Structure 1
Amino acid sequence: MTEETQRQFSIQRIYTKDISFETPNSPEVFMQEWKPQINVNLNNAIKDLGEGNIEVALTVTVTAKIEDKTAFLAEVTQAGIFLAQGIPEEEMGPLLGIYCPNTLFPYVREVVSDLIVRGSFPQFLLAPVNFEALYAQQVQQQKQAEESAEH
């Protein structure tokens, strides 16, 4: 067998790992004009499950505030188990930091949107995310941290 035939990458499972939705100022928030300040945070976590199985979890937190009061807080962690065997180390970073989050994003986008609508708020769709740019930024920050640690 050649090295190429030993390379294996596949999606084993995609699932919602955690969901949280809060409306701490309801019902009063429904009586106000809907002009919220929206903040979106993304986080990506990787966990080695052994035997080539890796869990990648993408967490999205959306906070909507009207003035200084939180209208809603929605947090969803969408995860996937990916099988990666025979993949060179230099390819694993982009695979786990770009490809896997791109695969999970449509699922987390749908769950977040559904939660917000079920909370009786106007529809909210997450804007597309450039995971390649985020990964490049993360790699650059790691290099800078390593360089400053050496000095």
Structure 2
Amino acid sequence: MSETKINKKFFEIQRIYIKDVSFEAPNTPNVFHLKWEPIVKFNLNTFSKKIEKNIFEIILQIKVIVKIKEKIVFLCDVDQAGIFFISDYNEKKINYYLYSYCPNILFPYARECISGLVSHASFPQMNIMPINFDDIYKNHIKFKKNSV
């Protein structure tokens, strides 16, 4: 009987959930009569927290502010979160999972949540383009190395 080498490195999604969500349309119904020429401000952050050994909570925070001229049309904040099991990787690989791989998993859920909130509020559909978290992470690492 041949021996099988077992790879101890392991990654698992344990749970994906909305941690916090907020939608405000403070100037309705008046903004419904304005010509739809929106100015969109988009902010993205990721946070990670170790819950216990090999268990991490990752939060992808997206904030969208839409204005027409100076009038706020809507504000939408979504904190999409997940709990992930990440074991037996070196620190560099774990950081990649925490700040690139896991946010890539969470992003479609956050995008769908935002799209649903916007359409349920009777505004034109909001299509958020895909985000390359690998590039964001690589740029962060370069910046970190250059600033030391």
Secondary structure at 1:6's aligned position in 2? coil
- Identity across matched positions, percent: 41
Deviations 1:10-49 (A, max 9, x none): 0000001110001111111111111101111111000000
Contact 1:109-1:126 at 8 Å conserved across structures: yes
1:101 is aligned to 103
Aligned length: 145
> CA shift at 1:145, angstroms?
2.5
Structure holding more helix per residue: 1
4+ runs deviating over 6 angstroms: none
Which residues of 2 match residues 2-151 of structure 1 at below 5 A? 5-146=7-148
Asked whether the equivalents of residues 57 and 77 of structure 1 are also in contact (C-alpha less than 8 Å), the reply is: yes
CA displacement at 1:140 relative to structure 2: 1.8
Aligned-pair distance for 1:3? 9.2
What 5-or-longer segments of structure 1 have no aligned partner? 147-151
**What letter matches 2:144 in structure 1?**
Q
Task: Name the TM-score, length of structure 2 as normaliser.
Answer: 0.93
Partner secondary structure for residue 135 of structure 2: helix
Q: TM-score, normalised by structure 1?
A: 0.91
Considering only aligned residues, what root-mean-square deviation do their CA atoms show, in Å? 1.5
SS in 2 for 1:62: strand
